[in-house]
Amino acid sequence: MKRQSYLIAASVVTAISAAAYAHTGATGIVKERMDAMSVMSKAVKSISKMMMGETPYDADVVKQGAALIKNHAGEAMTSQFPEGSLQKPSVAKPEIWTNWDEFVSLADRLGVLADGLEAAADNGPMMAGGNAEGHMMGEGGANMMGGGSMMGDGASGMMSGSGNMMGGGRDMMLDPAVLARMPADGVFNMLAQTCSSCHTKFRIEKK
């Protein structure tokens, strides 16, 4: 369980930082959104270290990071993507504007999850030896990503049908009351997956 969560968090952080270099030379709205993304990325990295047990868990820092991400999510984010704004060195995909509803729903989802993380921060993490250990685990320590009790079947109310925690579902309804009762790392993983989902769909990966 512990190892699994470590791997998830680590891969999310790697995926996020891998693209953080292309920033130089940007101007105008492209620079603004890259700066906003970078600020969020810093918050995600520091929270991720806590969730992996590399640094001590601090609920206040998690709340601050969550609040910061919330401020950059939703409308604040989508307003930084005026139609056709692909000036160099942007790596945004033109599909953003042909799939605008989906883009908006991912940005909104990020806001809901950031809100949820803020609310769940005091619950502490389940993985890093927090006292919620075992609390929401199914038989045999189901893993976070799979059909485990936490993210799978048991979460169907939370995931509204799609049952897919990778995000991106259009009608994904996230219940703030459910999120507020989850272990903080569970909510955090969902949040970080939302960053990744949007990047996979709407950002060109430089390799």
The distance of closest approach from Cβ of residue 204 to ligand HEC in the complex, given in angstroms and rounded to an integer, is 8
Q: Which is nearer to ligand HEC, 95 or 153 (CB)?
A: 95
* Cα–Cα–Cα angle for 61, 141, 112, rounded to 5 degrees: 40
The whole-angstrom separation of Cα 32 and Cα 81 is: 10
Q: Which is nearer to ligand HEC, 5 or 105 (CB)?
A: 105
Q: Residue 36 corresponds to which tokens in the numbers above?
A: 């906003």
Which of 47, 50, 51, 69 contacts ligand HEC by CB under 6 A?
69
Q: List binders of ligand HEC among 28-47 (CB under 6 A).
A: 30, 33-34, 37-38, 40-41, 44
The two most distant CA atoms of the chain are separated, in Å, by 52
Which of 9, 47, 52, 92 contacts ligand HEC by CB under 6 A?
92
Lookup result for tokens 């803020």: 118
Neighbouring residues of 192: CB distance < 8 A, sequence distance ≥ 6: 9, 12, 13, 16, 44, 48
Q: List binders of ligand HEC among 96-115 (CB under 6 A).
A: 103, 106-107, 110
The whole-angstrom separation of Cα 171 and Cα 39 is: 28
Q: List binders of ligand HEC among 12-31 (CB under 6 A).
A: 16, 19-20, 22-23, 30
The whole-angstrom separation of Cα 62 and Cα 25 is: 31
- Contact positions toward ligand HEC, by CB under 6 A? 16, 19-20, 22-23, 30, 33-34, 37-38, 40-41, 44, 69, 77, 90-92, 103, 106-107, 110, 194-195, 198-199, 202-203
